[in-house]
Amino acid sequence: MAQPGKKGRVMEEEWSGVDPVETVDGESPAFALGQEFLTAAHSTSLMFANSVNAHRSLTIVSLTGLAESTKQVSSIDTIADATSLARLLAGHPLEAMELRHRHKRG
């Protein structure tokens, strides 16, 4: 309890009742800014996670394409098949089909 003759002590007790409110008011911008930084960090981490998942998907697609290409190349068992494939890739599909049918028939 304050003594009537000491003004400083009375002022301290009056202000000490206000200090917690002022402290909370003073800290609220810091908490708000901290929350903003936390949200930005979370958004950035989600962006990087999505980027990694997209890269993983592209890697799987490219490896699948490589495996299919390897399977097709390794299934060429004769020179005629290789020649017809080369003509097909060169842009002469009709010649490639004729060569392949001639080879299969005779």
Q: Which H or E run contains 69?
A: helix 7-74
Q: Per the confidence metrics, is the pTM higher than 0.85?
A: no
pLDDT in tens, 35-48: 999 999 999 999 99
Give the type of residue at 90.
A
pLDDT in tens, 45-77: 999 999 999 999 999 999 998 888 888 777 766
State the Cα–Cα distance between residues 37 and 34, nearest whole angstrom: 5
What's residue 32's pLDDT? 84
Nearest to 66 by CA among 78, 54, 74: 74
CB 69 within 8 A of CB 61: no
Give backbone dihedrals phi and psi of 6, rounded to 5 degrees, phi first.
Answer: -110, 105
More confident residue, 49 or 105: 49
